[in-house]
Amino acid sequence: VDVTAWMPHGRGSGLRFAHEVGMSAFGYFENTFGGGLGDGCGVPYALSKLDLLGIKPHRGIGLENFGCITFDIDFFSVSDLMTGWSRRRRISRLICHEVSHMWFGDCLTPHTFDELFLKEGVARYLEFVALDDILFGSPAS
C-alpha cells in the first residue's frame, strides 16, 4: 500500500515527520488487524493507497475518509527546529487515531450515529497503543 503525505505548495518542508508517522501507523494497524506479518484478525486494508492531506481551512483537526485522511495543516506540519516533543507527540497521536479509523470507522462502521462513541473510543485507545509500539517497539499493557 502506498502511503503518501501532501500539503499545499510552499508548506512541504514540515511534511517528513507526518509521513513517517503515517507509514509507521499504517504498518502497525495493517499488521495488527489486516493479518500482515502478525496474528491480525484478517481484515486487510482494501485500497492500494492511503493519502494524508494537510489542508487549510479545516473543520476540526482531522477527519478520516476511506483512502484519504485530511488534517488541519497546523496539526500536521512539523518544523524540525521549531516543534518540541510535546507537539510532535500530539501530532503523532492524531495521525495514529485517524489511521486507526481505516479499520474502526471505515471497514467496521457503527449502525447509527448514536453509536459513534464506539469507533471514537476504540480509536482513542488505539492511538496510544499504536504510538507506544511505534516509539518503543512494544504495545502498552
pLDDT 10s digits, 50-74:
999 999 888 889 999 999 999 999 8
Please provide the average confidence, as pLDDT, over all residues in the chain.
Answer: 86
Q: Which residues are catalytic?
A: 98
- Phi, psi dihedrals of residue 132, rounded to the nearest 5°: -60, -45
Q: What is the CATH number of the domain that holds 90?
A: 1.10.390.10
State pTM to two decimals: 0.87
Please report whether residue 141 resides in a domain: no
Domains contained in the chain, number: 1
Phi (first) and psi of residue 96, to 5 degrees: -60, -40
Residue 130 lies in a domain: yes
Is residue 70 included in any domain, yes or no?
yes
87-98 pLDDT, tens digit each: 889 999 999 999
Residues 94-118 pLDDT 10s:
999 999 999 887 666 767 778 778 8
**Which range marks the domain in which residue 96 is found?**
2-136
